[in-house]
Structure 1
Amino acid sequence: MSRALHEFILGGQKSGKSARAETLARDWLQTPQRQAWLIATAQPWDDEMQARIARHQHDRALRVPGLQTHEEPRRLAEALRRFSQPDTLVLVDCLTLWLTNWLMPAPGQQAQDAPVAELLLALNQARGPVVLVGNEIGLGVIPMGREVRQFVDALGRLNQQVAAACGRVTLMAAGLPLTLKAEAPSP
């Protein structure tokens, strides 16, 4: 699969990242015999997050009826390998939460380095297009706490590596896409 068909969408909170990704999935599904899978990485740790996830599921079902969902908070490379097919678009939402699940796990779980190399290998081997959503959080002030600084650094490195592995990179701001990288597909 040409990496030119993979898109990485980043931006701040409520910048329009997921809406753009869903639009790409909806457009993909306009061709008969195609499928689209969302790999959701969020975990419902509290009541607010449970309500947020339920609202997203409901709204997404209305916006992109054919988009199937698989929840996978940690084993992202495995899920990507499982669902990636030439006729299937895989949408990952979101890399930031996936990284959080590894580096800042819920109580009772041990923090571990995220298997970024494994994810990049699965992305490189994907048999169909992949759309990845992630947050750009390094544009503000430098965080005070050591752990938060480490997370911001780790996310910045992840974003750079994923951007290098994708043929298209889009920055979202105020619901508007700004193309940062656009490679043409190979003939």
Structure 2
Amino acid sequence: MVDVARSEFILGGQKSGKSRRAEMLARQWLGARATHRAVLIATGQAWDEEMRERIARHQRDRAVRVPGMATVEEPLALAEALRQHSAPHTLVVVDCLTLWLTNLLMPMDGVSVEAAEPARALCGAIEQAAGPVVLVGNEIGLGVIPMGREVRAFVDALGGLNQAVAAACERVTLMAAGLPLRLKGHHA
């Protein structure tokens, strides 16, 4: 049974099972019909050796878990990439919104972008998507208040982004210890 919503936002802490759930949904989608396609829009950038290794490991693992899912790298123009790859027969996975927001607000080249308009554009693209969309993001607001002004501003911005994306999506799932908790949408 394919349990794919028109749009699903999967959020949780680091290593909570967010990406695995998105991959499982993509695998179900691909297995449901021969005409189905799946595309991953990856937002991470390899700015150092550790991140290059992490991205390569994710690519290898994903190729085993979801063979046939194409990957597109887009660190900034996320709404445009979603519009470009969305189609009735194509499930689009965006992984992850937290890295996307980091790319906008704390870029390695030092030229930050105001995130409000890109976030509005992303929510519009989610609502207008021709096919199913699965978005992955981190919930980082459950801990102590960060000490630095910039970090507090980032946590606030991510909380706002998460709320906007949750409002735009049909289903919202919180992951903890590999287990999904449905926050919004119909239960399977």
Counterpart of 1:33 in structure 2 is 35
Does structure 1 residue 68 correspond to structure 2 residue 64? no
The aligned length equals 180
Normalised TM-score (structure 1): 0.94
Counterpart of 2:150 in structure 1 is 147
> 2: distance between equivalents of 1:46 and 1:148?
21
Deviation at 1:113, TM superposition (A): 1.3
Q: Secondary structure at the match of 2:80?
A: helix
1:96-135 Cα distance to aligned partner (Å, 9 max, x none): 00000000000x3401112111111111110000000000
Moved over 6 A (4+): none
Counterpart of 1:17 in structure 2 is 18
Q: Secondary structure at the match of 2:143?
A: coil
| Residue among 41, 44, 56 paired with 1:42 | 44
> 1: distance between equivalents of 2:28 and 2:110?
39
> 1: distance between equivalents of 2:129 and 2:110?
30
> 1: distance between equivalents of 2:135 and 2:114?
20
Does structure 1 residue 157 correspond to structure 2 residue 160? yes
Matches within 5 A, 1:174-185: 174-183=177-186
Q: Secondary structure at the match of 1:101?
A: helix
Counterpart of 1:124 in structure 2 is 127
> 2: distance between equivalents of 1:89 and 1:66?
12
Does structure 1 residue 170 correspond to structure 2 residue 170? no
Gaps of 5+ in 2: none
Deviation at 1:66, TM superposition (A): 1.1
Deviation at 1:177, TM superposition (A): 0.4
Gaps of 5+ in 1: none
RMSD across aligned C-alpha pairs, in angstroms? Answer: 1.0
Deviation at 1:168, TM superposition (A): 0.6
> 1: distance between equivalents of 2:145 and 2:39?
36
Q: Secondary structure at the match of 2:75?
A: coil
> 2: distance between equivalents of 1:66 and 1:93?
17
AA in 2 matched with 1:40: A
Q: Secondary structure at the match of 1:74?
A: coil
